[in-house]
Amino acid sequence: MRYLLLTVFGAMMLAGCASEPRVVDSVPPGVSYRFSGDNVAEANRRADRYCAQYGKRAQLQSVTRGAVDNIAQYECG
């Protein structure tokens, strides 16, 4: 029973992280993030933080829609 609870808890933690944008590619001066749903706002924030390390701001270049998730591509400029 204890292991079952730990497994369920672990699965819930992973599911909670699934909505976070994940880096797909980060070749300066740009970065791409994979995200789910229509909320690109968190990907925008993460891209701005990424570009800030180069003293630049993120500029959204494109969003590729997929069946499961989407990819936002940014250029640091």
Q: Consecutive sets of 10 residues in the chain, 77 residues long: mean pLDDT of each?
A: 40 50 76 91 95 95 94 95
- pLDDT for the residue 47: 95
Query: How is residue 74 written in tokens?
Result: 């940014």
Is there a domain that residue 46 lies in?
A: yes
Query: How is residue 55 written in tokens?
Result: 């003293």
Is there a domain that residue 53 lies in?
A: yes
Phi and psi angles of residue 58, each rounded to the nearest 5 degrees, phi first: -80, 135
- pLDDT for the residue 39: 83
7 vs 37: CA distance, rounded Å: 26
Residue type, 71: I
Is there a domain that residue 72 lies in?
A: yes
Show the domain range for 60.
21-76
- pLDDT for the residue 25: 66
- pLDDT for the residue 38: 85
- pLDDT for the residue 19: 65
The DSSP code for 24 is E
